[in-house]
Copies of this chain bind each other. A is one copy, B any other.
Amino acid sequence: LKALVIDKGKIAFIEKPVPQIAANEALVKVLVAGICNTDLEIERGYMGFSGTPGHEFVGVVEKCSQAGLIGQRIVGEINHGCGNCDRCKKDLSRHCPNRSVLGIVNKDGAFAEYLSLPIKNLHIVNKSISDEQSVFTEPLAAAFEIPEQVHIKPGMDVLVFGDGKLAQLIARVLKLNSAKVVVIGKHETKLKLLERFSIETKLLSEFKPRQSPITIEATGSIEGFELAVKCTQPRGTLVLKSTVADSEKFNLSPLVIDEIAVIGSRCGPFSPALGALEKGSVIVEDLISKTFRFEDAIAAFDYAKKPGVLKVLLDMR
């Protein structure tokens, strides 16, 4: 099969054998995959991963021990715990210290014609959801992790810093909780996408810092984090959503003085994400900047790095 590989910051195509599946696994033919900022960070060396990246995908089960699954269109959770440790037993396998993570840690990912995943990671996708929409399940689940961790009350003032792919999904999800969401970003065209959902936006250059009980950092930059700290009211909560590969210099004492809670937030629950796609309560299609044929994946990576670009898809159909 044809697969993309990243090794020491170099990205290339290789031919490799179709993966052998274990008894608990399914062989999945990938239909469409999405490029995430984490993939771009991985290319820069984040997580020290070498192998096939890609963790946002929709595919069809070709082989597995559960006959009913064969031929089904599925999306897949990306963390796979050992199943034996305390965390796995407490239903926290997303935090298993020995976990593999599809396309990120110890497991080849979705930028290939085939991938393998444990059967229990798979979710069947309803026919009403298109392939393109399905690819957003994983990042949309990450957005749904926020109301899972933090109590977002109706009418609550929430500032979202960032206007990229993840920030867009977060704003749309929090709007479902009837929060008063304001998105602060640098790109007029990206902010404009939020208008149809009646989400208030502000260009960073025009934003006058003010304090809010909940702020979300989704810019992936240290300046974004510092502004979010400044805009979190005393005893408020700052949800830290983006991972940045670099160490940066800053001062922690504002967190102590204002007794701010900084809450790290990563992967989230697939069910509400699929539910929102099915009901159409969260729109995602407008976030697709361009779809590339899989054989043009390297050009797609370059395109995804351009300013102003949102989701880039790879089509393997």
> Measuring CB to CB, which residues of chain A are less than 8 angstroms from any residue of chain B?
46, 87, 92, 95, 149, 225, 233-235, 240-266
Contact = CB atoms under 8 A, between A and B. Distances in A.
A30 to B, nearest CB: 25
Contacts of A245: 253
Given A244-B252, A247-B251, A259-B266, 16 more contacts: A95-B258, A149-B259, A240-B255, A241-B256, A243-B256, A243-B257, A246-B251, A247-B249, A247-B250, A248-B250, A252-B264, A255-B264, A259-B264, A261-B262, A261-B263, A261-B264
Nearest to A101: B257
A265 B259 contact: yes
B234 A95 contact: yes
Give the number of copies in the complex: 2
Contact of A255 (B247, B259, B262): B262
A234 B87 contact: yes
Given A95-B235, A235-B95, A257 B266 contact: yes
Contact of A95 (B95, B149, B256, B259): B259
A201 to B, nearest CB: 24
B256 A242 contact: yes
Nearest to A86: B233
Contacts of A234: 87, 92, 95
Given A92-B234, A95-B234, A235-B95, A260 B253 contact: no
Contacts of A95: 233-235, 258-259
A254 B245 CA distance: 10
A249 B247 CA distance: 6
A304 to B, nearest CB: 20
Contact of A256 (B255, B258, B260, B266): B266
Contacts of A254: 264
Contacts of A260: 263-264
Contacts of A92: 234-235
Contacts of A258: 95, 264
